[in-house]
Structure 1
């Protein structure tokens, strides 16, 4: 019998904390508690060598159900389309104009957080409508 494995989703980015805090707002995730012995993550960061400060950040589902999201600084910028992206489920169970209205409402909220609207893909008989967006560093994701 195959056992269920836990996993985390890792993002390569230039500014890990900024991108992590964006996704906390999108998904209702939280920043985990600082390591034992430290009051804040800033306190912990000050103990690291200069080149490691700000190199990573994480956020977690406060209910413990969703995967941990980990953000790591990389030197290169994003060049091409993501091979993997998140679908943020905001229109589940909705169809037609109700679904599009829910997607548009969430899009407006996320644009105010720094996301960019790319395009609305309307239902085509096989797939329901979804809205393609980019996060604060240009990584694609969909409102579905």
Structure 2
């Protein structure tokens, strides 16, 4: 009886340690992907985004060219905005952005998202656009769920 109990405890301990390693690996892989994305040029990001959309929405070659140009424009704009924020952070070293600045950043992102949505609507078919919108909604919900998990009480 003692032997069976000892074997059971050993297996349980082994499973717990394996789960911890798996969680740690997942976090490390996420960080590697984030670092890789940070180091990509706007052209590489546009190419990657276009490839993903092509696979998901079965784009024609004409649509691919238009979508790639749109993604490139967005990636260049995003890189410019990130560089401006980084420079502003260096100037104001330890200061956090004011509420007005944060609101302006959010408004900029919302405007860019709406602009992209409008342009995509002109490029994609109705079915493709609906599929893309559904995917965007799903990703937004996923992000909200992750933010809530990280900070269940909300930001203060």
Provide the TM-score with structure 2 as the length reference: 0.25
Higher relative contact order (CA 8 A, sep 6+): 1
Higher helix share goes to which structure? 2
Provide the TM-score with structure 1 as the length reference: 0.26
